[in-house]
Structure 1
Amino acid sequence: MSLIDLFLQRRVKLAYAHRFQPRVELLEERQCLSVAAPVNIHLAALAPTQVKVMWNTAVGVGGYSVFLWDGTNAVLKTTVAGNIAAVTVAGLKPNQVHWFAVEAFDFSTTARSAWVSIKTHADAITAPTSLRVGNITQNQLGLAWTNATGATGYRIYTWDGVRSQLLGSTTPAVPAFTVKNLTPGITYYFYVQAFNNTNSANSPWVSATTPTFGLASPSNLKTNVLSASTIALSWKDGASETGYRVYRWNGVTGVNPVLLTTLAGNTTGYQAIGLLPGKTYWFYIQAFNVTSFANTGWVSATTLNALALQPPTAVYVDITGSNSVALSWVEPARATGYAVFVWTGSYWANAVTVSAGTHSVPITGLVAGRTYRFIVQSFTANFAEVANSSAVLVNL
């Protein structure tokens, strides 16, 4: 006998015994129905270790269980109420495919969805920056770079003319690598790959040419910070060179070193000027002759922070006529110009503006018998900084 036959037989008996109660019978009939499996299962990878599981809710469901397949068994990850349609599952492995199923249940029955899968994100990582070459000799050179975010190690690659070849590896504790067994007079190309358990990121390529035999690089290269805009370089003269080239790099990834100047042989010093205050610069010296060249390693130095703009000093006013005077002053450092102001009785009016290098101006059109007050203001480009002198008085 089928379930439907049993249900109808029970309904007939209840009709005679209890005068037939349709609402109760209908309720009992509805409770015999099973829950349906969740549909429209949707997955979203939120992070390398997190996946959001979403589905459509259904009427009459007591709750939902979310399962993760571990390769052998369905592992229960969480259970939520029947009005919840999304959960976030954490603690997953990055960069792997994970399978999920959602099971609906009530007091007596369950129904599980089909399995669906998604691949979690790889661990975040950035590429090494500021990759540079230094300490170049005929047979070896040094690579150095700024550490990447999220890296657990670095691989160093070179180009053999056909493909990239792995040279070696190092850790974030040592963001540098020495390349050995090179051939003199050959141009080599390199890049550094940051990596972790699930991801990697490459720096841009850099290149360097090993010098040929017969020329030694300058030695004992040193820096001396002279001011906010000047760094002095000094080195020990080599042998067989006909000159030196001075290179500067600003530390910006993708920007090549700049040739500052070419000097005669036997030169042992140079001053790099026009630098920005409080900024770090890198330098190297290249010795050269007709057939070869040889580079020093990189050295770096940071310029001094600029001092605040000072006002003109020793401001002096000299009477040159019944209606005129001449103002003079001593110029401060860094000023790009000067403005002379006269007091009108209610505000300071600009009488004249001159450029740096000017330290005296005539003022005409004054009224005899009056007392005048003047100040001289120094300023930098676009009036980014200004500084006023003390006022000076004159009686005509």
Structure 2
Amino acid sequence: MGSNMRSAPGLAFALACLATVAAAVTPAATVPPAALLVTGTVSTQDTAIQTRLTNLGYTVTMKTNTNVVAGDATGKAVIVITASATSNSAGTLFKPSTVGIVNWHPATMSALGMSSATATLATQTQVTIQAPTHAMAAGLTGNQSVVSSATINWYTVAAAATKVASTLNDATKPAIFCYDTGATMSSGTAAGRRAGMYMGTGGTLTAAGGNLFDAAVRWVASVPAAPAAPTATGTAGQVALTWTASTGATGYNVKRGTVSGGPYTTVGSPTAASYTDTTGLTNGTTYYYVVTAVNANGESLPSAQVSATPNIGAALLITGTVSAQDTAIQTRLSNLGFTVTMKTNTSAVIGDATGKAVVVITASATSNSAGTTFKPSTVPIVNWHPATMSALGMSSATATLATQTQV
């Protein structure tokens, strides 16, 4: 039995050519956004907040409320004032600032113009989400344990405030609230976005409490929303991703993992709402992706996870009566990562080659009809059938060595 190929010296070479992909794209370096953290005597809580800001991608400058100056806000994406501040001086200093502010310090609420009165619940550790669709709610609903043990503050706020969360089961006592830029506050107009938080000194944030803080930082800094409606499609050696663009985004980070739920590694940083991942993928392996939106002020929450499995493509296998050899060839194609469609030479039509990466004609074909059918096709062909060689125009004559087992 003879064998040959139309356009390459061997099957392995042909399949390797089909799997060739574009060179990897190296993400461009970006300058991380900056945050100003205003404290009193630095507490464990302050250090935890600093760590969260760092984990959000911010370069953090820490100043005490007694030595901070207005110029410290220059170039910052967000200002965070913690509960350890020893006076309301930072509020007076930064009230005119257009930089977004997250404030934990009760007395500073009034100095910033954010509230007209403050009260405390000494044993409270939970809040009730009142505006679950707002970005500052971090996707949470209902009652949430936010701190291990501490006082929780609540505030009297202006009508323009969005009351994101209240003290436990009491919508009249806002514990997390915000004003958008230009909103009328309890005193004056918000020069930039403002967010008020609940916790007094002491205590440790729970996972939910930390997420609410992170969401407040992202919102006041005008970080774009997470990309919506992501899709992922695997083809030969690559995965193509698309998503809905996020308002205010200047770019995106595409992150990939090999386990559902992560961890993920950034593999690309496109500016458009699409990306094709060609970096180090193995056909037949499932990859998991999330996308974040970025601008000068920070990085969004990740999108919903999507997954895709790159494959080498689809193959058309043309046989006669299916033999053990045909089944073995089908298995080899599948093991190479092809999705295999099998047709007999009497039923195959040229349209069957549409979308295929390769056509394979086996020695069991009962006539040379497949050669006549597929000779015009632009799809690569691997042919094992002697009579079909001539019909494909690949040879003018065929001969056989009956006892030959080597080449």
Greater relative contact order (CA < 8 Å, ≥ 6 in sequence): 2
Query: Whose strand fraction is larger, Structure 1's or Structure 2's?
Result: 1
Same fold (TM over 0.5): no
Q: TM-score, normalised by structure 2?
A: 0.30
Which TM-score applies when normalising by structure 1? 0.31
Which one has a larger percent helix, Structure 1 or Structure 2?
2
